[in-house]
Amino acid sequence: MANKAEAHWEKTKSLMFLTLAIWFFFSIFIFMFGSSLNNASFLGYPLAYYMCAQGSLAAFVILIFWSSGKQNSIDEEHGYGEDD
């Protein structure tokens, strides 16, 4: 029981760190280089403008859907799945 819970928590923690690393990239890291990023363009928008207008926002939505799905499979794998 204890080992099962520990293994589950280890995996949960790794997923959390991975999620927050991706979050850091899209929320903070890229905006450290805003002015050089803006020289590139995407869909005709300057890139830094595009990222804060919708790119990063969309990345967060996808990231949460992905990580919640991932967490569900971790839960199920360790026998902590819920049915609803």
Partner 1 sequence: MFKGNFIDNLPKIYGTYTGGFLVFCLLMALLESNGVSAKTIGILFLIFTIAIYALIGVLSRTMQADAYYVAGRQVPTVFNGMATAADWMSGASFVAMAGGIFYGGYTYMAFLVGWTGGYVLVSSLLAPYLRKFGCYTVPDFIGTRYGGKFVRFCAVLVLVLASFTYVTAQINATGTIASRFLGIPFELGVWVGLISILLCSMLGGMRAVTWTQVAQYIVLIIAYLLPIFWLSNKFGFGFFPQFMLGDEVARLGELEKQYGLVKNSAAAVKAAGVPGGLKSLTVSHAGVPEGGMAAWKFISLAICMMVGTASLPHILMRYFTTPSVKSARRSVAWSLFFIFLLYFSAPALATLAKISILDPNLATGIIGKSIADVQAIGWVKEWIAVKQAYIADFNGDGILQLNEWFMRGDVIVLATPEMGGLPYVISGLVAAGGMAAAMSTADGLILAISNALSHDVYYKIIDPKADVAKRLIVARILLVVVGAFGAYIASMRLTSILGSVAWAFDFAMSGLFFPLVLGVWWKRATRQGAIAGMLLGLGAGTAYLIYVAPAFMGNAPWMGIDHLRFGLIGAPICLISMVVVSLMTPAPDAKTQAMVDDVRIPSGKTIL
Residue ranges that bind partner 1, judged by CB under 8 A: 5, 8-9, 12, 15-16, 19-20, 23, 26-28, 31-35, 37-38, 41, 43-46, 48-49, 52-54, 56-58, 60-61, 63-65, 67-68, 71-72, 75, 79-82, 84
Question: Closest separation between CB of residue 80 and partner 1, Å?
Answer: 4
> Can you tell me the distance from the alpha carbon of 1 to that of 58, in angstroms, rounded to the nearest whole number?
39
Residue 37 token pair:
């990023």
> Can you tell me the distance from the alpha carbon of 48 to that of 34, in angstroms, rounded to the nearest whole number?
5
> Can you tell me the distance from the alpha carbon of 20 to that of 35, in angstroms, rounded to the nearest whole number?
24
Question: Closest separation between CB of residue 1 and partner 1, Å?
Answer: 10
Q: Do 45 and 53 touch, CB atoms closer than 8 A?
A: yes
Question: Closest separation between CB of residue 70 and partner 1, Å?
Answer: 10
